[in-house]
Structures are given as structure tokens and as C-alpha cells.
Amino acid sequence: MEARLRPVNALLGLVMAGDINPPTLAQAGFRVVGLEVPAVGPAGKVVIDVLLFHEATNHLVQCEAKSGANIEESQARAYAAMPAANAVQAAYVSLRHRATPTIETLYLCLEEHAERIRLGLKTVGIPFPVFGVSDRRIALHDGEYASERLHDPLADGVTLNAPPPRVIAFDPESPPEEVERHVRAAMVAELAKRTAHISWTGLTERVAPHYGLYGHAAQNKLKSVVKAAVATIVEASPDRFSFDPPSGSRREGLIRFLRTPEDHDPRGRTQAYQALSRTGQAPRRRRAPANPDQMDLLSELSTMDNDVEDIDSMAEEEGGQS
């Protein structure tokens, strides 16, 4: 996982049940209602990285994730002045109670940068609590500035049973190769299911399961990076995949799945796996097999139920050798 994505993933792990770590904030009544939500207030515009909502009290927590140790004063002031109603409108939050919505701000960062973030906020005179993340521990710094709803479940910190989950595996700022490996894994999975075709949006939803929570601009950026990854994969494996561009009656392009190794004689698959295992330690540059695309896809299909990194390592090895 990219280090800059760890604070957001750690927070999401506390709000979404099903992970090995305790869903501390979910148990306290919080849920995620938006990711990368643009909102405008009296002091300017911000893009809220994660917007949490406590439905029982109509309380929101707008979260700003920092990849480094610095803050932007203008951004902090824009957060401080943001009316709750503006965030509600920006994220289309449904208020089920008559209580007037309230809002607070939480800064997310790696624990190693927490002191610098706190100092930066103190210097500009804006008191926000800071959520510091390490591999096995989450700490709430300056908790006295947090609301009771946020402070109480985090007051003693949270001990993690495992490192933060990979809820968000990549974003539009991720390296192309990072995006491609997740997209390739999703496309191979669809190929194995004998899917006939899928739209850009449909494929993006496969590789970014929380796509629906993103703001419109962020959704478009995600589709763009997925599209770039698909173009690379289709070019490398034209016998497996193709792309139909948008038409007058169809706004989105379609990825088509042409031929799956599941149609091959089982002995052919076995021979492909044996060939790959024999060449696993070969130099990166060597003579390519007769059908390198088939080898890549068979390799991925054999491991698609494993962790995506395992899929990627085999695909990258063959890709580098061709």
C-alpha cells in the first residue's frame, strides 16, 4: 500500500465492518457518506478526503488526509469556516432528523508526521484534532478539540490486530503500474467468468468498490486512470481483450472479453503453468515463448483468488520478459 493512502485506509477500516481490526467508529454510529467531496464555504473551497456522518445526531466529520508533515493555512481556514449545511449539500447527505447539522474537522496523517501537523495547526491558530496512524496503532492527538461523539471511541487510541486494510488500493495520483496491476486482475477475473463485455464505469466499480462515494470529479479521474491501464492491457493481449469506442447511441466505451484460457484443453493449461514455474528465476530479458500473452493470462488465472500482489508479481515478471 502506498504510504500516503494509509491514513485514509486506517480511518475507513474503523468505519466499515468486516475487517480483522475493530470497527470502532462504526460501532459509535459513524458511516462514510463521501470521498473526495468538493465543498465551498465562506473561506474558500476544500476537497474533503473523507466525510463521516453520525446519523443519530446529524453530526459530520470532514477529514483532511496529509501524506507529509506540512499543512496549508488557507486550506485549514477553509475547513474551519465550512458550514455543516454546505457539506451536507455537497455530499447529498440525507438528514433523517430535524436536528440542525453540525460539523467538525479531523486531520489524518502518519504517526511519524503527527507532531509536525499539530505544530503547523497550532502555529496558524486553528485547533483541530489529529488522527495519527502507524502499522499497529491509531492515536487521537489533541482530542480535547474533538466532539464528544468522535473523542469517546478514540480517546484511548485503537490497537490494530493487523496493519490498516487496503480499502482504497489506488487513486488518480497512483503510479500507472500500480493502477494497471489492479485493473489487470479485475479483467482476468471477468475473463474467467466468461463475461462478454463491461463498460468503463462497470470496470472502475470493480477495481474501486467505493466508486459511488466519490465526488463527480474524482469519479471521472478514476475512470481516466482505469482507461489508461486498460489501453495498455488490450494492446498487450489483443487476442483476449478489445475495446469498442463510444458511439452515437452509447456514451461509454466497452471492454470486450474475447477468449478465455478456460476454453483450452486442460493439458495446455498444465503445460503453461509448468513452463512458467521453470522460468521463474530467468533473467528479465530472454526469448519470449510462442504465445506470451497466453502465458501471462494463464499465470494470472492460476492465482486470481490470492492476494492481488501475488497476481501482480507473476504478471509483471512475464511482462518484463517479453
pLDDT confidence bin for 268, thresholds 50/70/90: low
Residue 290: C-alpha distances to residues 183, 213, 235, 303, 319 (Å): 25, 44, 17, 22, 14
- The pLDDT > 90 percentage for the chain reads 54
pLDDT in tens, 118-140: 999 999 999 999 999 998 899 99
pLDDT in tens, 295-321: 444 344 344 444 444 444 444 444 444
- The pLDDT > 70 percentage for the chain reads 80
Please tell me which of 73-82, 244-253, 262-271 the model is most confident about, judged by mean pLDDT: 73-82
pLDDT of 292 strictly over 50: no
Q: Which of 68, 95, 63 is nearest to 79 (CA)?
A: 63
Q: Is 102 exposed, middle or buried (0-12, 13-18, 19+ CB in 10 A)?
A: middle
pLDDT of 258 strictly over 70: yes
pLDDT of 272 strictly over 60: no
pLDDT in tens, 44-70: 999 999 999 999 999 999 999 998 999
Instruction: Look at residue 279 in the predicted model and tell me its pLDDT.
Output: 29
pLDDT in tens, 218-257: 999 999 999 999 999 888 888 888 888 888 788 888 899 8
Residues contacting residue 271 through CB under 8 Å, at least 6 positions apart:
none
**Backbone conformation region of residue 159, classed left if phi is above 0, alpha if psi is from -120 to 50, else beta:** beta
| Contact present, 204 and 273 (Cβ < 8 Å) | no
pLDDT confidence bin for 191, thresholds 50/70/90: confident
pLDDT of 293 strictly over 80: no
